[in-house]
Amino acid sequence: MEITGPTILENARLATPGGMVQGAIAIDGDRIAAVGDTPPGAWARVDLQGRLVTAAPIDCHTHIVHGGNRAREWEMRLQGASYEEVARAGGGIVSTVAATRGASEDELLAQALPRVDALLAEGVSCIEIKSGYGLDLETELRMLRVARRIGHVRPVRVRTSFLGAHAVPKGAEADAYIDGTCIPALKAAHAEGLVDAVDGFCEGIAFSVAQMERVFAAAKALGLPVKLHAEQLSHMGGTALAARHGALSVDHVEYATEGDARLLAASGTVAVLLPGAFYAIRETQAPPVAAFRAHGVPMAVATDCNPGSSPLTSILLAMNMACTLFRLTPDEALAGITTHAARALGLTDTGALAPGLRADLCIWNVETPAELANRIGFNPLHARIFGGRAC
Ligand code: DI6
Ligand code: FE
């Protein structure tokens, strides 16, 4: 498919914020010009033959830039070791830190691109990419530079999150690391224009609420929005902290409570569900989806693509898992990888089929969102339109 000028895609099934609409969607330049009815004028026309059109998926939580892999550690976990046991035994995040520190910018880019391409093959238009496997100033910045380069060498938008507070590096003490390395690295990365948001891992094996509070204060001083890996393995109070700071999102949230759901609703913070991590570490506690729903907390869905807890590079499988494992409806899962994913990144110009938004959309060889979410390991993408161009 090619789009060379103002174009009407007609005979489509459109998944709009208000529900399914039969009809046409018009694209003018990099924007959606109309949804539902056909604007007058001399537009090129493409017959979609009843195909489903959605906003393009946004993967709003990834650690897609990293060195090496952790297949060996996975084998250990298959023998019975838990994710936390592996981490305490010197495996886990810190082993990826060693591999990432040892890789050049070009090597990190070369390792990341096949994973990026897997997401693009499913139509993804925007990827959030975190640092957090450097844990020193130089490597944190290198990861973020690689993330930015991905947006230049592929037709995809990249949003970066500084995740210096991901793990305590070997031999360091947590408080000294936060004040002496993490916060100075954040300032340096921001000065280089490498940071769109600030993230952290609030957990027993990572950082406390008090430590994250200091990172968030530094983010605020720089005018950067915050987000947090919260209540993934235990209830630490990270959700309440994030809500207090008006965070864009709290991510994982398996151990969040109904009280947390109330706080998130009040602060307008998105709950990002990461079923790939839940699956891969054989977690048994599912996030409180019913409470999120009852209190009107927007739920996003993402891959959490990382070498340890979620070696997943399929946004469609994340969508399927969100339904099967967490009981989201297919419509909720679709909103989770589009509208609410955009919101989790603070993006207001994409993530829905609505006039005036960026023309980031996907045409699928299925008829309904349920068909899109239902299959496992099947990619029905017909065409991907990124900023008004088919590519
Ligand atoms: N939670 C996760 O699931 C990932 N990071 C985090 O804070 C895991 C990252 C890894 O295991 O390498
Ligand atoms: Fe993560």
Residue 104 bridge partners (DSSP): none
Atom of ligand 1 nearest to the CA of 274: 3
In angstroms, what is the span from residue 61 Cα to ligand 2's centroid? 6
Q: Is 73 in the pocket of ligand 1 (CB under 6 A)?
A: no
Cα distances (Å, whole numbers) of residue 33 to 9, 37, 50, 356: 11, 10, 20, 6
Q: Which ligand is nearest to the CA of 230?
A: 1
pLDDT on residue 72: 86
Contacts of 190 (CB under 8 A, 6+ apart): 162, 222, 224
Contact call for residues 363 and 2 (beta carbons, < 8 A) = no
Q: How far apart are CA 265 and CA 267, in angstroms?
A: 6
pLDDT tens per residue across span 166-178? 999 989 999 999 9
Q: Is 229 in the pocket of ligand 1 (CB under 6 A)?
A: yes
Q: Is 308 in the pocket of ligand 1 (CB under 6 A)?
A: yes
**Ligand 1 atom 3, closest CA:** 309
Q: Is 92 in the pocket of ligand 1 (CB under 6 A)?
A: yes
Cα distances (Å, whole numbers) of residue 51 to 110, 111, 166, 369: 35, 34, 42, 11
> Burial of 175 by CB count in 10 Å (0-12 exposed, 13-18 middle, 19+ buried)?
middle
Number of Cβ within a 10 Å radius of residue 69: 15
pLDDT on residue 189: 99
Q: Is 212 in the pocket of ligand 1 (CB under 6 A)?
A: no
In angstroms, what is the span from residue 123 Cα to ligand 1's centroid? 25
pLDDT on residue 87: 79
In angstroms, what is the span from residue 7 Cα to ligand 1's centroid? 43
In angstroms, what is the span from residue 386 Cα to ligand 1's centroid? 29
Can you spell out the DSSP letters for 121-181? TTT--EEEEE--S--SHHHHHHHHHHHHHHHHHSSSEEEEEEEEET-PPTT--HHHHIIII
Cα distances (Å, whole numbers) of residue 92 to 68, 184, 309: 12, 25, 9
Contact call for residues 283 and 319 (beta carbons, < 8 A) = no
**Residue type, position 88, single letter:** R
pLDDT on residue 41: 79
pLDDT less than 50: residues of the chain: none
The reported pTM is 0.97
Atom of ligand 1 nearest to the CA of 70: 12
pLDDT on residue 39: 77
Q: How far apart are CA 351 and CA 360, in angstroms?
A: 8
**Ligand 1 atom 2, closest CA:** 309
Q: Is 309 in the pocket of ligand 1 (CB under 6 A)?
A: yes
The torsion of the CA quartet 262, 264, 265, 270, rounded to 10 degrees, works out to: -150
pLDDT on residue 349: 98
Cα distances (Å, whole numbers) of residue 141 to 117, 148, 296: 23, 11, 37
Ion ligand 2 residue ranges (Cβ < 5 Å) = 304
Q: Is 360 in the pocket of ligand 1 (CB under 6 A)?
A: no
Q: How far apart are CA 111 and CA 231, in angstroms?
A: 30
Q: Is 160 in the pocket of ligand 1 (CB under 6 A)?
A: no
Mutate to test the pocket of ligand 1, among 96, 201, 202 (most ligand atoms within 8 A of CB): 201
Number of Cβ within a 10 Å radius of residue 139: 21
In angstroms, what is the span from residue 265 Cα to ligand 2's centroid? 22
Can you spell out the DSSP letters for 18-40? TEEEEEEEEEETTEEEEEESPPS
| Element at 321 (helix H, strand E) | helix 315-326
DSSP 219: H
Atom of ligand 1 nearest to the CA of 281: 3
Contact call for residues 254 and 287 (beta carbons, < 8 A) = yes
In angstroms, what is the span from residue 306 Cα to ligand 1's centroid? 7
Can you spell out the DSSP letters for 222-274? TT--BEEEESSSS--SHHHHHHHTT-SEEEE-TT--HHHHHHHHHHT-EEEE-
